[in-house]
Amino acid sequence: MPDRKKLTVSYAPFWHDGSRISTKHYHIMAATLLAVIAGLLRYGMPALGVLTLSVGSAMAWEYLMNRVTRRPVSIGDGNAALIGLLFGMLLPAVIPWWVVITGTFVGVVIGKQIYGGIGGNPFNPVAVAYAILMISWPVYFDFNAALVDYPFEFTAAYPLVLMKAYGSAGIESFSLIDLLLGRQTGGIGATFGLGLLIGGVYLMIRGFIRWEIAVSFLAGVLVSALCFNLYNPEVYAGPGVHLLTGFTLMGAFFLATEDSSSPVHFIPMLIYGALGGVLTVLIRNQGAHVDGVIYAILIINLVHPLIDKIRPKATGRVMHHA
């Protein structure tokens, strides 16, 4: 009788580069840490409370949905935690707990799970959550009102509001260095520009986000802001200010680059990112809203399947079809 050892049989390829979804999400979360820690130092325990509640509740919603829809438990892939973390980073440090939980519900359940979970969402779940909540309870998303009790050593008004109200003159008290180092009010993790930049560059180099999207998004912001600025410098602030205020850096590195809702081909990625950047500045300068990043990202998410059709023709083996 020949030796019958049970061998592992599977289909080619038999090698794998070792990457996995969870690794990627943990790295993205790690890349936010600089900005998150700066936010925690600035806003203290309330900010920690908001972030932990946001991450925790996002994971809880995911687990609950896994159970309800009877699908494999997927909180281990880190996606829910990432949604929670990014959502928390956009919030003001002082926000009622139920807003956070509602937000993660919208993000995880309505933004992602009802489309079939990871990979199925047509919009960035964080942007969906933020947009819906901002429209539903605008009062809690007013950074000036929310952060009124904090003693700041700098102008304690949200730069984008000042910009909207007073034009370039409104933000004269902020130098670009101040903005870069986070001496401005805003979301918990969205103000420390230097930290976000370092995190974003790290993710681009490691290949965890697509550099084409982030770079073209920032280029879109810079170029369109520069055009407005050249047209009327009194009313429209310069590109540097647009780059370092509001959610621009969060949007470029962490929101627009979300896998499922963004294109994968080279030219579409450039169009997608640039469109997002231009829309951001358009909404800020011309629209009714204070910050345009969230809406800009939802709009480019909407057009991504269309522009992703711009792609090179497959060159492979020609099949002689009958």
Which residue has tokens 């980073």?
A: 89
Question: Judged by CB under 8 A, does residue 260 bind another protein?
Answer: yes
Distance (Å) of CA 58 to CA 53, 75, 104, 288: 8, 9, 5, 30
Torsion of CA 272, 274, 279, 280, to 10 degrees: 110
Tell me, residue by residue from 66 to 105, as one string, x for binding to another protein by CB under 8 A and - for no binding: ------x-x--x----------------------------
Among 24, 112, 242, 284, binds another protein (CB under 8 A): 24
Q: What is the rounded distance in angstroms from the CA atom of residue 258 to the CA atom of residue 123?
A: 9
Stretch that binds another protein, among 56-64, 248-256, 262-270, 275-283 (CB under 8 A): 262-270
- What is the nearest approach in angstroms of another protein to the Cβ of residue 177? 29
Q: Does 138 bind another protein (CB under 8 A)?
A: no
Q: Which of residues 268-307 bind another protein (CB under 8 A)?
A: none
Residue list 34-73, contact with another protein (CB under 8 A): 72
By CB under 8 A, which span of 51-59, 216-224, 255-263, 283-291 interacts with another protein? Answer: 255-263
> Which stretches within 122-210 are classed as H helix?
125-136, 143-146, 159-166, 176-180, 193-206
- Give 110's DSSP letter: I
Report in angstroms how near the CB of residue 256 gets to another protein at its nearest: 14
Asked if 234 touches another protein (CB under 8 A), the answer is no
Burial of 168 (0-12, 13-18, 19+ CB in 10 A): middle
Residue with tokens 């926000």: 95
For 149, phi then psi, to 5°, come to -85, -5
Which of 98, 116, 172, 233 lies at the binding interface for another protein (CB under 8 A)? 116
The contact set with another protein (CB under 8 A) reads: 2-21, 24, 72, 74, 77, 116-120, 204-208, 210-211, 259-260, 262-265, 311-319, 321-322
